[in-house]
Structure 1
Amino acid sequence: MQYYIVNDWTILAGAMVEIRIGRDFLREGVVESYTPDGSIVWLEQGQGFGRQLVDKSSGFKIYISEDRLRAIGRVR
């Protein structure tokens, strides 16, 4: 399955995404909300792990699969 890095985090509300640092997978979850400038998202991790703040300035990257991009209407 193909995954893409997302630079504009403001398009991701409600999407299931992967959080990585470099190429290292850290966690996955659903983007609940984001700051107006898109530099921070709140990720609901599920399975008892709760909510986590993720910010670009700490080096986190967000990746999403093509199927999930389609699900939020970003790929046709």
Structure 2
Amino acid sequence: MDLRRIDDWGLLGGASVEIRAHGVPVCSGMVDDVTDDGGILWIRSTIEGRRLFEKAASYEAWAIEDRLGFHYRVSVS
């Protein structure tokens, strides 16, 4: 599957994602939690443990899995 950018982080709870900063992968794992407004999420990675990412800090979430309800951005990795 091609990774697809997800703009609405509020939909990502429990999803497998890759986090990118300026197009460069920085972390991948399962979304452990997300704020109600979708501005911050926590990734649980088997390698790096639990990490926080803020959308306002130019991080992007790219879905590793297909899931009903995801709103994909047109660009594909």
Q: How far apart are 1:46 and its partner, in Å?
A: 1.3
Q: How far apart are 1:69 and its partner, in Å?
A: 2.1
Unaligned stretches of 5+ in structure 1? Answer: none
Unaligned stretches of 5+ in structure 2? Answer: 71-77
SS in 1 for 2:56: helix
TM-score, structure 1 normalization: 0.82
Residue 23 (str. 1) matches residue 23 (str. 2): yes
TM-score, structure 2 normalization: 0.81
Structure 2 equivalent of residue 37 of structure 1: 37
Greater per-residue strand proportion: 2
Provide the C-alpha distance between the structure 1 equivalents of 2:56 and 2:7, rounded to a whole number of angstroms. Answer: 12
Stretches of 4+ aligned residues off by more than 4 angstroms = none
Q: Provide the aligned C-alpha RMSD in A.
A: 1.4
